Amino acid sequence: MKHYLLTLLILIFAGCSSKNDYVLFNQAPKPQNNDILKSQNIQFEYKILPHDRISVIVYKHPDLSTSTVNNLQQERGLLVNSQGYIRLPLIKKIKLAGLTQTEAEERISNAFKTYLKHPDIQIEVLNKRAYIVGEVNRPGEIPLTNERLTLLQIIALAGDLTNTANKHSILVFKSTDTEKVNTRVIDLTDSNSLISANLMVEPNDIVYVMPNDMKIFNNNVSEISPVFNLMGSILNPFVTLKVLSR
């Protein structure tokens, strides 16, 4: 009786499992291959945000440049404050938030022209990161030293997918200039998986590798196993008495 009851409860719970929590993700529209190819051909340049760290190099004037030396893995440079400004020698406060690196170099160069004849400026954002979470072996931050990486490169740097990853639903959350988030669902098992996996991951993007159905089921079973144990301990005396009465 106890075994029959246990099996019945598992089946009922599986039917009502938290799999429904993931249905909205799975039903998200998949991008067409043409859309993916178009997005890869779009020229991308990162825009500086408040709280970014940047290095500024003024060629032939090292005293006006910032330090880019790493000290115990802490990146140095100048912090863009919450209002989007940095402070530099001579020109003092200058706003860079919202500008691309090229635009920021031009703005700093124009500001230095009051003091230098031909200022030659190079800046670099030091904290460009993407993030990968979910069913990968090493979730966390992925440094983007080359501005952006493909989805396959991001997964490789995260130590590959785990055995419980859902390869049909790799979610890529991309922020936009309108403060909205675009969601793309990548299926690595379809015939066009190579094209899909070459989707470019850019700074501040988030990759979420969903768990497969078996892991969700196992998690649900582990959550209700204490209930089964309690029910078993309650039913055990009654089953024992019934057997002895026979």
Residue burial 220-245, b: 16+ Cβ < 10 Å; e: rest: beeeeeeeeeeeeeeeeeeeeeeeee
Q: Per-residue pLDDT for 219 more than 60?
A: no
Question: Contact at 8 Å (CB) between 114 and 65?
Answer: no
- Which superfamily does CATH assign the domain made up of 53-125 to? wza like domain (3.30.1950.10)
- Its pTM stands at 0.66
Q: Per-residue pLDDT for 178 more than 70?
A: no
Amino acid 70: pLDDT = 44
CATH number for region 23-44+128-214: 3.10.560.10
User: For residue 184, what are the CA distances in angstroms to 26, 152, 196?
Assistant: 10, 15, 10
Q: Per-residue pLDDT for 137 more than 80?
A: yes
Question: Contact at 8 Å (CB) between 157 and 136?
Answer: no
pLDDT over 70 percentage in the chain: 62
Q: Per the structure block, which two tokens stand in for 147?
A: 């501005």
Question: Contact at 8 Å (CB) between 209 and 132?
Answer: yes
Kindly state the helix (H) or strand (E) to which residue 167 belongs, with its residue range. strand 165-175
Question: Contact at 8 Å (CB) between 104 and 48?
Answer: yes
Amino acid 157: pLDDT = 95
Which of 82, 78, 79 has the alpha carbon at shortest distance from 67?
Answer: 78
**In the chain, what are the domain boundaries?**
23-44+128-214, 53-125
pLDDT in tens, 151-172: 989 999 999 999 999 988 899 9
Amino acid 243: pLDDT = 47
Q: Per-residue pLDDT for 200 more than 70?
A: yes
Q: Per-residue pLDDT for 216 more than 90?
A: no
> In the beta sheet, which residues pair with residue 161?
136
Amino acid 245: pLDDT = 58
| Number of Cβ atoms within 10 Å of the Cβ of 170 | 27
pLDDT in tens, 76-129: 789 999 999 999 999 889 999 999 999 999 999 999 999 998 999 999 999 999
Q: What are phi and psi of 49, to 5 degrees?
A: -120, 155
More confident residue, 192 or 175: 175
